[in-house]
Amino acid sequence: MTTVTTDLVELLDDTGAAIGTAPRLSVHGPDTPLHRAFSVHLFDDRGQVLFTRRALTKATWPGVWTNSCCGHPRPGEDDRTAIVRRVREELGAEVDPDSLRLALPDFRYRATDASGVVENEICPVWTGRLAEPELMPDPDEVVEYAWLTPERALALAETPELISPWAVRQLPQLTRAYAVAASPTTAAPSDAATTLAAVDTLLRAELVELAEEWRLSAPERTVDVLGEDLPGWLTALVDDGGKRIRPTMVHWGHRAAGGGSTGPGHEAMIRAAGALEVLHVFALIHDDVMDRSDARRGRPTAHIRAAAAHREADGSGSAEDFGTNIAILLGDLAHHQADRLAAELPASMRQEWWRLGTELIAGQRADLTGAAARRRDLAHAERVSRIKSGAYTITRPLRLGALAAGADDQVLAALADYGRHLGIAFALRDDLLGIWGDPRVTGKPAGDDLRAGKATIILTLAEGALADGLLSADAERVLRRVGSPDLTDTEVELLREALAEAGVGGWVEELIADEVRLAEGALSCPALTADGVAGLTAMARRIGWRAR
């Protein structure tokens, strides 16, 4: 049991610098000064995360569910030491100190309890593992606790009335940290990081060679209107990175099939991963043109940027047409460079590359024609998500990596099963983020999918909600206007709120959880390597509950 002490907490100025101390029990009130704290989310060996319910006798937020443990480091005490101490005091358990990882170093919040007491903390958020799952919680601190799957825990952010205000704000930012913390201890994240570093090295060399070839073909020293020529622009987009899911899936497909870290197979795997990374730049550029998107990764899209350069130079003709045309050329250059990388792959991988590209274009065509035809049926939405997103992002990259390792039919079948389910989860998460994602996190405006009228499963579920009488007349009117280019921000917001209230977002979250479970189940194939299974398990959770 913990005892009441005169523990001191560190007081901070607005920059986070220490300016003094105060007794812990005297700090919290209606005008609580900014002070130092921590939050930790603890996992067990099965990948479950611990949530605790605050004791009913607590002065603030009594009876509220929250993350595993929170506390205040004492003056001069580092966070790791404070976490180990506080978990022992509050939960009667031991943390594995080596498992502690800083997930949100800059998290801070201010919140007021119903009683008027204020929390005002700079509160770094950590993840870690308990040395053993048995707890002996202090009843003055914790009235009950539960072990939750990561997906259930992350979904708690949708019920802010049931959990602490700090957990509400933390959870949407912890998708990736949860995936890593919940992954089996046999996973080797540094292994994938090594592959990505090798991909970067390859692409850097290839893009330097492209720039030199371009200089010989277009020797003028300056470029009219644009300023920077296309190879430099392409290099910046490739360097920008993004989530890098596709090259990572190539890596884990290779590892799961028994591929090594040297030799021709490894080199082919790196080349395929690099080709996919550049092909993805092509896909994003052309997708943004077709969707008329204004932003990507938090910056203006290529056609918007080129149009702005045209206006600034007072160019002749239409700035919008110029922007579209330059973006198409830039995308073509990316595709051209991706094909150059793939041209040196073994024959079986080149065939896979051709199929991947064909599916990608066919999926985009189906997306456009389905939107134009106002398709809302489930079969069409699933077909588009399977060939445009799932195959291109998960299944084909996995197969490219596995083929580089010389995979047999049993391995390829298991990876195909995994990829099919995880591809659906990926597409569903994309659909959710396209409507409800935070633009500050996703890097692109929310609601664009509604303006474009994309044939997503969310719109299929929206039709079901309408048939069940769960949408208002105003929401039905806006739903019928989805796909109209003049759909207003107000209408988009009205429909987003109506769909959320009807439970559409929750239904999609359940579908994602089901598909992730099915994907993980496909990894039981004995022909897959242990480290490959560990890496693919971690990737399934990362992809299923990502925030961008």
Residues tagged in the binding site annotation for Mg(2+):
90
- Element spanning 288, H or E: helix 264-291
Distance CA 258, CA 210 (A): 34
Catalytic annotation, pick one of 69, 70, 491, 515:
70
Q: Please name the residue ranges forming H helices in 405-470.
A: 409-436, 439-442, 448-452, 457-467
Q: Are 101 and 129 in contact (CB under 8 A)?
A: no
Would residue 220 show up in a list of annotated catalytic residues for this protein? no
Tracing tokens 């274009």 back to the chain, one arrives at: 361
For 470, the token pair is 């769960």
Distance CA 242, CA 267 (A): 23
Distance CA 254, CA 193 (A): 14
Known binding positions for Mn(2+): 28, 35, 72, 119, 121
Q: Residue 32 has what DSSP assignment? A: P
Tracing tokens 């539960």 back to the chain, one arrives at: 146
Q: Are 182 and 526 in contact (CB under 8 A)?
A: no
Burial-class residue 219 by CB neighbours within 10 Å (0-12, 13-18, 19+). exposed
The sign of the dihedral angle between the CA atoms of 126, 132, 133, 136 is negative
Distance CA 407, CA 468 (A): 48
Q: Please name the residue ranges forming H helices in 92-222.
A: 150-155, 165-170, 175-182, 189-217
For 270, the token pair is 């790196």
Distance CA 362, CA 387 (A): 8
Residue type, 313: A
Q: Are 158 and 214 in contact (CB under 8 A)?
A: no
Would residue 121 show up in a list of annotated catalytic residues for this protein? yes
Catalytic annotation, pick one of 10, 121, 141, 509:
121
Cα distances from 548 to residues 42, 214, 316, 409, 458, in angstroms, run 23, 34, 38, 34, 17
- Distance from chain centroid for Cα 210: 31
Tell me the three state secondary structure of residue 532: helix
Distance CA 155, CA 515 (A): 16
Distance CA 318, CA 72 (A): 60
Closest CA to 532 of 261, 328, 301: 261
Known binding positions: 28, 35, 72, 90, 119, 121
Distance CA 401, CA 252 (A): 7
**For the chain, how are helix, strand and coil distributed in percent, rounded to 5?**
60, 10, 30
Distance CA 175, CA 150 (A): 9
Q: Please name the residue ranges forming H helices in 9-73.
A: 24-27
Active site residues: 70, 121
